[in-house]
A and B are shown apart, each in its own frame.
Chain A
Amino acid sequence: DTAVSQTPKYLVTQMGNDKSIKCEQNLGHDTMYWYKQDSKKFLKIMFSYNNKELIINETVPNRFSPKSPDKAHLNLHINSLELGDSAVYFCASSHHLSGGPGETQYFGPGTRLLVL
């Protein structure tokens, strides 16, 4: 029944490790996103994929690499984790990327990443 799901919900790891966060949506949407929410609750867009194609890549270190095996999945792989990567990462999806009326983003539950 879950619309946008993410795994894991919590991730605690050491600096320098490589980790992945998975996202799946069962809404039949074309577009998926990754957002980072920092400790001050500020929500920043990282990536957007439309039909498995990278559309938006904001100023994000190369250590972050999104992968979309199909329209329903957008995974985030992070290499060489740093302390500053600690945050909540939200996946979201929307019907289209067109930006037209009716476009609403649906968010996943978030992955709380803590880098020690």
Chain B
Amino acid sequence: AQSVSQHNHHVILSEAASLELGCNYSYGGTVNLFWYVQYPGQHLQLLLKYFSGDPLVKGIKGFEAEFIKSKFSFNLRKPSVQWSDTAEYFCAVKSGGSYIPTFGRGTSLIVHP
């Protein structure tokens, strides 16, 4: 069974700092990769996704993620965070034959103004 690891459970940054959240998965075949964000008290929203093509994916709100197949990774980045980026971030991976994605346990990001 595939698994998804988000190593940083809690990240605290000051505004304008750069962000990188790690995501690693275990499946070796074709994968579809997602990052979702959950703002406090709200539902999950899609930030970005990778299906094929350019491994550097740009999403909403200035976020991007890079798929590195050799490292089984799909790390999320943002060059300069804002207070409004405070949220939970979930990485999800769907393998080629799977009906549903497997979610990581999430990373809680707190940005100090």
A, B bound: yes
1/0 per residue, CB under 8 A from B, across A37-58: the answer is 0001111110010000001100
- B42 contacts the other chain (CB 8 A): yes
Within 8 A of A (CB), among B37-85: 38, 42-46, 49, 51-52
How far apart are the CA atoms of A50 and B92 in the complex, in Å? 21
B96/A99 in contact, CB under 8 A: yes
Question: Of the candidates B45, B51, B88, B100, which one forms a contact with A45 in the assembled complex, judged by CB atoms under 8 Å apart?
Answer: B100
B99/A97 in contact, CB under 8 A: yes
Q: Count residues on chain A whose CB falls below 8 Å from chain B CBs.
A: 25
Given contacts A33-B100, A45-B100, A55-B99, contact A107 B94 (CB under 8 A): no
For A105, what are the chain B residues with a Cβ–Cβ distance below 8 Å? 46, 100-101
Q: Count residues on chain B whose CB falls below 8 Å from chain A CBs.
A: 25
Question: Of the candidates A44, A103, A107, which one forms a contact with B45 in the assembled complex, judged by CB atoms under 8 Å apart?
Answer: A107
Q: Shortest CB–CB separation between residue A30 and chain B, in angstroms? A: 12
B43/A104 in contact, CB under 8 A: no
Given contacts A55-B99, A90-B43, A106-B46, 11 further A-B contacts (CB under 8 A): A4-B43, A33-B100, A42-B106, A43-B90, A48-B99, A90-B44, A92-B44, A97-B99, A105-B100, A109-B43, A110-B42
What is the interface of chain B, defined by CB distance below 8 A to chain A? 32, 34, 36, 38, 42-46, 49, 51-52, 88, 90, 94, 96-101, 103, 105-106, 108
What is the interface of chain A, defined by CB distance below 8 A to chain B? 4, 33, 40-45, 48, 55-56, 90, 92, 97, 99, 101-110
